Structure 1
């Protein structure tokens, strides 16, 4: 019997019953201090007390010893934030070790596996080497695959499948990516849109309007992403610069509909960088550099670590701006992008050097 585990089981069951350590101690005939020691792992109950404990919690001894500790969503997010701070900080190895220990400790929590898997996949680029990055991605993949096979929660499972498809795609395992995506339930109906209209009809206008504003927000980003993907599709065969530019410009214009009020929220740097990389693949260095100028101008003016609140934008005034779960300095991420191989042809360009220096300076100055 793992004394730490049995202590946590007792703590969890006691809180579920909403009783104090003193009340539990009185029932089974031990002191409050004894119960406290069990729960923090300094000691564990005598074997003769197990039947009494099992009886009190209305479970079998076997269930008591094999009780699967379920974490609440709040507890999972506390663990997630603790690990994420280490992944984003200077000691990613400590973060990896800590996260794996939590997975071992709470092996039945599939929501925790989803969040930790997300961290391993998202921060693999900070690992320091391609080999380490591959290990992190493989670990994330195993967590998501475990969720797919064993989790009974469809929402968690489908999120895991979506993330898993991205991993397979990055490994050029296209067929596997398609296979897992096809396991996700795809509804043809916009339920939230219908619900929003019902709430407004009933007089709950604020709730309905909030749902519609969230739909607007998602649709703007989805439309912009679709247009960029269409542009990139023409790199695969025709390499038609005119059509590619039309799609790329349209992806920017979609967001510009809400400019300038929502500039900080809209993340134009995503499109500018995507556009620049497309130009480089087409050998259009001057056009790529022009797009990078627009990119650096945007991130100089708009704090991508701490974007503007939703409430300050007229068309999203019902949406609340929740504090980000991430502590990563986004300017570090921007600098890493500029260090990728695709920009090798521009390394000696003086303005490109200026752009890279500016990003490095923002990275040093920005403390998230």
Structure 2
């Protein structure tokens, strides 16, 4: 009988772990002859033995059969970009590609997560998104994304799923009519008090003379805290009363007074200025509305500028993996360009379609602002410089 690929794998794994056939047999509760037959390709392990063999050698079952989960970041990014492109061009072809890649890389966390994110990113732009629960293309994408996000949770550390997976999964559950399940998934993540663990860890590092580790810990905590604060302000703006909205606008402006800090959460100022302009327009204050829309157009320029030419705060020099990088290649640059265009289109469409702007549409200043926001030519990224 010709050798099976699994036979070579089992023999090489045993040798690498410096185990004898007798030791493997003892661990698995079988005979030495059975192990010998596997490695000679004369027989295959029973399917019920595969998890035990994988555990013994510290590998996945996929890896036993030569399906390695090792994929470079460059390869994973290429899969993500192709999935995103295909899903945008032809939904059926895109889903077929995502399914095929998921089957091939089912044990590779980075690839499965990127495929989930690609499917999730297309839901809001698909037919059927406005319905609750989702229908049509949006429902199909949600089903695929949910399956993939659940898989990433299974692949990740037990008991500590990443918010990168939990938060979009919760939105999918909400959109598909499972609000209680969505809330249960997220509620325990919302902090009820300040998290001082990073400060405590820093003190431990300093007392042991590990200043570099202390600096990295504090920079990471500061970055996370700033991003959380900016995201919270953006979420508060639409539901705050008028007086609170003024305070939010002032605080957001102070927090993002330079391009480096815009980069921490570039959606903040556009969100706040849009809400301010909308409130003024609804109250019939055309002058205030146009002033806020002018600020909005500048903020959108800043948002897109960050995507195309990111600025980073030098304060975060110890955590380069958590801040922006210049596009590494033409594909990444193209993706950011497309994202910037989508942001402009989103705000331009809201200004063109929402009824609150009807009283301003004849104003030349409104037309100029609308044209500026919709223009892809403004990409220098020199906001507030």
Asked if the contact 1:265/1:307 (under 8 Å) is kept, the reply is no
1:306 and 2:308 matched: yes
Which residue in the other structure is 1:331 paired with? Answer: 340
Which residue in the other structure is 2:147 paired with? Answer: 142
Which residue in the other structure is 2:39 paired with? Answer: 55
Taking structure 1 as the reference length, the TM-score comes to 0.67
Which residue in the other structure is 1:228 paired with? Answer: 234
Rounded to whole Å, the distance in 2 between the matches of 1:363 and 1:18 is: 61
Which residue in the other structure is 2:182 paired with? Answer: 177
1:79 and 2:79 matched: no
Rounded to whole Å, the distance in 1 between the matches of 2:144 and 2:183 is: 21
Provide, for residues 216-238 of structure 1, a one-character-per-residue CA deviation record: whole Å limited to 9, x for no partner: 1221221222233334333xxxx
Gaps of 5+ in 1: 1-5, 20-49, 235-239
Rounded to whole Å, the distance in 2 between the matches of 1:242 and 1:214 is: 33
Which residue in the other structure is 1:319 paired with? Answer: 319
Asked if the contact 2:76/2:114 (under 8 Å) is kept, the reply is no
Asked if the contact 1:272/1:295 (under 8 Å) is kept, the reply is yes
Alignment of 1:251-330 (within 5 A): 251-253=252-254, 255-256=255-256, 259-260=257-258, 262-277=260-275, 279-280=277-278, 283-284=282-283, 286=286, 287-300=288-301, 303-310=305-312, 313-320=313-320, 321=323, 323=325, 327-328=335-336, 329-330=338-339
Pair 148,198 (structure 1): closer, same or farther in 2 beyond 3 Å: closer
Provide, for residues 266-325 of structure 1, a one-character-per-residue CA deviation record: whole Å limited to 9, x for no partner: 445532334313542671574444333223224436622234353xx3422333146479
Rounded to whole Å, the distance in 1 between the matches of 2:140 and 2:71 is: 28
Aligned residue pairs, count: 320
Which residue in the other structure is 1:243 paired with? Answer: 244
Which residue in the other structure is 1:97 paired with? Answer: 96
Rounded to whole Å, the distance in 1 between the matches of 2:278 and 2:169 is: 29
Which residue in the other structure is 2:118 paired with? Answer: 119
Rounded to whole Å, the distance in 2 between the matches of 1:342 and 1:262 is: 28
Rounded to whole Å, the distance in 2 between the matches of 1:12 and 1:288 is: 69
Rounded to whole Å, the distance in 1 between the matches of 2:102 and 2:218 is: 37
Which residue in the other structure is 1:199 paired with? Answer: 205
Rounded to whole Å, the distance in 2 between the matches of 1:191 and 1:336 is: 41
Gaps of 5+ in 2: 17-33, 55-59, 130-135, 381-385
Shift of residue 215 of structure 1? 1.4
Rounded to whole Å, the distance in 1 between the matches of 2:290 and 2:38 is: 70
Rounded to whole Å, the distance in 1 between the matches of 2:11 and 2:377 is: 47
SS in 1 for 2:306: coil
Which residue in the other structure is 1:217 paired with? Answer: 223
Shift of residue 125 of structure 1? 3.8
Asked if the contact 2:69/2:105 (under 8 Å) is kept, the reply is no
Shift of residue 173 of structure 1? 4.5
Asked if the contact 1:273/1:292 (under 8 Å) is kept, the reply is no
Pair 16,339 (structure 1): closer, same or farther in 2 beyond 3 Å: farther
Shift of residue 180 of structure 1? 1.3
Taking structure 2 as the reference length, the TM-score comes to 0.64
Pair 118,200 (structure 1): closer, same or farther in 2 beyond 3 Å: same
Rounded to whole Å, the distance in 1 between the matches of 2:98 and 2:7 is: 24
Pair 269,201 (structure 1): closer, same or farther in 2 beyond 3 Å: same
| Of 134-143 and 352-361, the range deviating more from structure 2 | 352-361
Provide, for residues 52-77 of structure 1, a one-character-per-residue CA deviation record: whole Å limited to 9, x for no partner: 78327998364399932475464477
| Of 57-66 and 87-96, the range deviating more from structure 2 | 57-66
